[in-house]
Amino acid sequence: MDEKKKNQLGFIHQFIPSNNSKGNSSTLVLLHGTGGNENDLIPIARVLSPANASILSPLGKVLENGMPRFFRRLSEGVFDIEDLKFRTHELVHFIENASKLYSFDLEHVIAVGYSNGANIASSILLLRPEILSTAILFRPMVPFIPDTLPNLISKNIFMSAGEWDPIVPRQNTEKLFDIFKKAHANISIHWQKSGHELGQEEILAAKEWLSHHIS
């Protein structure tokens, strides 16, 4: 890949093409947590869809004490809503342009987000749902309360939450679930007996769920 063309997309990122010779595979957009990078979730993506999906993994552009994130926050659990919305549209623009550069189908884009990455993926579903067909959200929080709910009737969403998560209260997870439910999404939630960290069991649960929701 021409590095000059790659750099024009505006995000440092990784792109790994599908091994599917038919050319009709999905693309997993990987969105890391605070302090992560564009390589963090690739092993998880390999478990979710070992060879069949392309992988697009950007590095968050916002720094918090030197740690990459996808949008600013004012304090733990308190988001800068204006920045969140700006960064959401910016990220969607990146995905659209990446689809042209790498020739993947925008009809089959699956977000896989953890923590901060799951929050901006949730924001995409609420602000720009046309860009995603499916989302796997590990440890998400309510990004914001929309004035008007989008119609998510065609969207598949898997949420995974920790029962003892010190960062995301159970009621916040349930509130996000209710928002997506009221927006008519096809949504499932997996409760993990853990804190904020990711566990192998829930990754395998997400893999099983995904196998039933993509062709």
Contact at 8 Å (CB) between 20 and 52?
Answer: yes
Distance of CA 44 to the CA centre of its chain: 13
Q: Is 115 a catalytic residue?
A: yes
> Pairing state of beta strands 54-58 and 186-192?
unpaired
Contacts of 48 (CB under 8 A, 6+ apart): 28, 112, 136, 203, 206, 207, 210
Examine the residue annotation and report whether 108 is marked as an active-site residue of this protein: no
Annotated active-site residue 165? The verdict is yes
- CA 78-183-131 angle, to 5 degrees, is 80
**Residue 74 belongs to what H/E stretch?**
strand 73-75
Task: Provide the token pair at 81.
Answer: 């809503």
By the 8 A CB rule, do 54 and 25 touch? yes
Number of CB atoms found within 10 A of residue 203's CB:
18
What letters, b where the CB count within 10 A reaches 16 and e where it falls short, cover 117-133? bbbbbbbbbbbbbebbb
The catalytic position among 26, 57, 115, 122 is 115
CB neighbourhood size of 91 (10 A): 26
- The residues that are catalytic are 115, 165, 196
